[in-house]
Amino acid sequence: MEYLQGLNSSQRAAVLQINGPVMIVAGAGSGKTRVITYRVAHLIKSDVDPFNILVLTFTNKAAKEMRERITKVVGPEAKNIWMGTFHSVFAKILRVEAEKIGYPNNFTIYDTDDSKSLLRAILKEQQLDDKLYNANFVYNRISSAKNNLISAAEYQKNEHIQAEDFSSGRGRLGEIYQLYTQRCFKAGAMDFDDLLFKTNVLLKEHPDVLYKYQNKFKYLMVDEYQDTNFSQYLIVKKLAAINENICVVGDDAQSIYAFRGANIQNILNFEKDYPDLKVFKLEQNYRSTQNIVNVANSIIANNKNQLKKNVFSENETGDKIRVSRAFSDNEEGKMIAESIAQERAVGGLRYHDFAILYRTNAQSRAMEEALRKLNVPYKIYGGLSFYQRKEIKDLIAYFRLTFNPNDEEALKRVINYPRRGIGDTTVERVIIAADQNNITLWEVVTDAGKYLDSRSATAVSNFATLIQSFQVIAKNQGAYDAALHISQHSGLLKDLYEDKSVEGLSRYENIQELLNGIKEFAEREDIAEKGLDVFMQDVALLTNDDNDKNPDADTVSLMTIHSAKGLEFPNVYVVGLEENLFPSQMSLNSRSDLEEERRLFYVAITRAEKKLTLSYATSRYRWGTLTSCEPSRFLDEIDAKYLELEFRPRQKSVDKNPFFDNERSAWGQKQNDTFSKPKPPAAQKTTSILPKAHVPSPGFAPSDTSGLQVGMEVEHERFGFGKVINIEGSKPDLKATIFFKELGQKQLLLKFAKLRIVT
């Protein structure tokens, strides 16, 4: 059992405990993935059949990484483990059992855009006010209901829900939910939430099916258990009911998805479900420096609702955590961009060693502008993924329609793209005919002469014939050949090829990239079924964390903290640490919401390996108005001995802030006392605490520093006045060491420093 040799005592104990209920509380950077993979490998080495092991994750990326690691230990047997995301695993089960709940086995999986498109159509048909019944709001309301296992019928019977809807002027939400459910069913489609909702229905209404999978999955492991919602919790509990060989892994301190329905109580109360539970705590952080870990601990200690653990690090002590204050959000961006450029040059780092994390997407603007001005390459994560681009969704709609002609959203998307003489009026007539006769759109399309005038019927019939020809091709050819045929004969590839604009070329190349991906899929040796329908299921189940992330790209990473979970970087900047921004204003109404914001801050801090910078602005534009900002209360919660301040925080605020005690510094009296102590002369060279912010000289303008020499006096617009004490390196990467009167010694890269030569 060589794989056990590299584990610490806590990790090893968790791996060896294979029977009975187990909870592994894994602190940030504690080797969680290693423990999960070795535990599964140990199960197989202990003669557990891999076909009887179910491992549930939240991203395909995590599942793939785990399977690869397990394969290195146990070999090809790892292929037989049931492993994947909740949605992918239960979609696989539903494909087998769908007919028991009235669905075809080839049901379509609607993504969020498909669901919202269908809802917009229903709202339009019902002539409802789109301000009250916004498709996004309605979608979220239905999603929340499904995650809490409330069906459309139950929704309409629930007096509390109905009272809430009527009081908000949305009394017809239950009716819309019912219509949406009916339309999805008629189209042979399930949305993402249905994959869990319908699995619960299946297991509840068909005890024989539940018994079948309870006996199949003798051992269950659930990763990121703190992120499970009620629907996921119930499925897992039912499947584990007979054998109780269930192991959940997670960290309550990293539960940050309540807005998606995640319930932290699932992990906090796990012992109540399994009184014989064995708990293992992974408390050694292998990722971050001791200072970073200590800061994270001092923050999360303020949460009352948590599983206590003592996370520690045996890594180097590391730099203190830098706290930067800017006068505006634009200056904050400028400070961060300059810091990245300098740290990279001085430390010999690559751009991909840096990440900028923020609470809201809107904060990226100031960062992007500043990075562009310094020609620093960057990439925003969480933007439009490859599979959400229009041309990709268009071609995939053809694929979907080929395998499920009742897919209403796919049919409406491509029936007249590329243009084939079927206008909006004709499509409306098709929809009306389907509603009036209680049949699907496809049934109208395949018998168009019965429902439409002759001219329209001819065009619609030709479209139906085209799709039927695709069905024959898909049945008799492999994934790539079928996909290429559909892209060519649908006219889509030709339409994009004829668009010679830059955008048109890009869209054409995206289609080629999709076909390349299908080709690669078809040539994989680790899967038995390689039809286009199987590829389609893989695409439909991609999670946001799996899309469009290239770890080899040398770019600075910009992302929300929610998107950063599970990632790590040598240098991390957490920006916008201001009251009402982080923590957000919405979180200040209850302790549970505020504690989730604090967990979010904890996640941000623990993404850093070597260096961590926290920043805030004293003013920020909001809705076109410049407003003053107070530092975040979270900064006040950090023990001052771990911090290095670039600016002394403001003292008493002029404006009354209900969330701060204005009789003390915004940093808290204990920090104020610490920072106010006089420093001995020698310490002035290393501290970054400024008695006051430097105000640049009138007409400040950077000088040409090509002739800069040791002994010259210079001015920096933020650091103030100083003397050059050393110059090293060669052009264009000359570095100057400068002793600033208020700041101490700093090494700056001259091409970015923007110094004014005084004498």
Binding residues for ATP: 26-33
If we measure between CA atoms, which residue out of 636, 577, 585, 578 comes closest to residue 612? 577
**CA dist 177 → 101, 190, 407, 606 (Å):** 19, 14, 18, 41
Cα–Cα dist 695/486, whole Å: 65
Task: Give me the active site residues, please.
Answer: 32-33, 223-224, 254, 607
Q: What type of residue sits at position 97?
A: E
Angle at 240 between CA 236 and CA 245, to 5 degrees: 120
In DSSP terms, which residues pair with 727 in a beta bridge?
736
Residue 683 DSSP SS3: helix
If we measure between CA atoms, which residue out of 38, 43, 36, 39 comes closest to residue 58? 36
Cα–Cα dist 588/583, whole Å: 8
Angle at 687 between CA 680 and CA 732, to 5 degrees: 135
CA atoms within 13 A on the CB side of 539: 24
Place of tokens 């209901």: 145
Cα–Cα dist 406/409, whole Å: 9
Q: What type of residue sits at position 305?
A: N
Using an 8 Å Cβ cutoff, are 329 and 363 in contact?
yes
Provide the Cα torsion 504, 510, 512, 516; round to 10°: 170
Cα–Cα dist 221/44, whole Å: 13
In DSSP terms, which residues pair with 321 in a beta bridge?
643
Using an 8 Å Cβ cutoff, are 396 and 518 in contact?
no
Angle at 372 between CA 368 and CA 378, to 5 degrees: 65
Structure tokens given for 253? 């301190």
Residue 114, φ and ψ in degrees, nearest 5:
-60, -45
Residue 150 DSSP SS3: coil
Using an 8 Å Cβ cutoff, are 357 and 378 in contact?
no
Cα–Cα dist 111/686, whole Å: 54
Structure tokens given for 709? 């020499």
Cα–Cα dist 15/17, whole Å: 6
Cα–Cα dist 296/306, whole Å: 14
Q: What type of residue sits at position 539?
A: V
